[in-house]
Amino acid sequence: MNARATKKLVAGGALGAMLIGTVALASAASADQVGDDSNVDVSVEIESTVEPGNLAFSVASSSTTLSEVDSTVPETREFTGTLPEVTVTDTRSADQIAENSFWYVLGSASDFTGEAGTIGAENLGWAPALVSGSDSGLVEAGEGVDPELENGPGLVDQDLLVSAFDSTEVNPEGSWTANADLTLRTGEDVAAGAYSSTITLSLFEDIG
């Protein structure tokens, strides 16, 4: 099993650029400004990292937020949100793909932590969905997992988000997009406060 790419989401990636400049400032107490301010616009163009002949994936946003809703389970509090869209792109030619190979995206979550305490990752579940369909029918979303409070395992171990049954057969379609509904369930006595978790998404290709 070979990892092709790994992204992280704060649950709450994406390519980014940071430009940092420094300037020495005279003390406001000992210097008077001469003339008006002048502004300098800074721009940067970042080209796509998906080169011809690659299997890769990208995530539409580096974060998402869960909001409380009426709980569907007695004596619990429930918070829901949506995983940002994950797009898998295959620009390889057919002769670059190994026979009987298949790709898949897995996800797992860390515990929610904050000043108020910790909420285990087993309390977070997801329900994946294919946003852009597959004409071949050979790309499907995973079945998902329920939070532990509903007798499910939660998103603790790597769980399937989306997969292709045959890399060669689906290759002409070019790209596929999936997301997932997220559900966090806690006890009614959970401590109030801000919590954060990281969902790690990984793209693999294997040979059957």
3-state SS class at 168: helix
User: Which pLDDT score is estimated for 47?
Assistant: 66
**54-101 residue pLDDT tens:** 999 999 998 999 999 998 888 899 999 999 999 999 999 988 999 999
Q: What is the pTM of this model?
A: 0.75
CA max distance for the chain = 74
pLDDT at 26 over 50: no
Cβ burial, residue 88 (10 Å; 0-12/13-18/19+): buried
**% of the chain surpassing 70 pLDDT:** 75
User: Which pLDDT score is estimated for 94?
Assistant: 87
Count the helices and strands in the chain (H runs, E runs).
1, 12
**140-159 residue pLDDT tens:** 999 999 998 777 789 999 99
Instruction: For residue 131, give Cα distances in angstroms to 69, 85, 118, 141.
Output: 24, 8, 32, 9
